[in-house]
Amino acid sequence: MRMLSEFRMPAMPDMGGLAEAQRRNLEALSHANRVALEGAQAVARRHMEILQASMAEMTDAIRMMSGTESPQARAARQAELLKSAYERAVANMKEVADLIQTSNSEALSVLNKRFTEAMDEVKTLVAKQQGG
């Protein structure tokens, strides 16, 4: 009988609190997904803008190269156009990489914030179960 009186059933978890925590987890995941999707859409838009600008520049370059310049002048112009195109391509790649990094950082920040909150909630639930 004494053994039965000393036997303690583990405290039942706060089901309402757990359900609320799970709801907040899903909201944070949904928010992070929205941020990531918006970032991907921004990257796709920028890619399209870059492609359109590149096509326009290429058309202009072809038009300019069909002039009656000397071979030396044409070669110098081609070299300058090539250098300029390379510099723009590098700058565009950096810009797109920065957009991707920013988007990923924002989405990860949302998840990290919720993870920290969830760990605090677990600590609180454990403390309540232990009576403290």
Residue 15: pLDDT band with limits 50, 70, 90: confident
Domain residue ranges in the chain? 17-129
Strand, coil or helix: what is 39? Answer: helix
Instruction: Tell the residue number behind the tokens 């090539």, with chain if given.
Output: 82
Strand, coil or helix: what is 60? Answer: helix
> Model confidence over 70-80: pLDDT tens digits?
888 888 888 89
- Between 45 and 19, name the one with better pLDDT: 45
Give the pLDDT score at 74. Answer: 84
Tell me how far CA of residue 35 lies from CA of 41, 98, 110, 111, 114, in angstroms.
10, 15, 9, 11, 15
Distance CA 72, CA 10 (A): 89
Residue 68 is classified by DSSP as -
The enclosing H or E element of 8 equals none
> Model confidence over 23-41: pLDDT tens digits?
999 999 999 999 999 999 9
- In terms of pTM, does the model score above 0.75? no
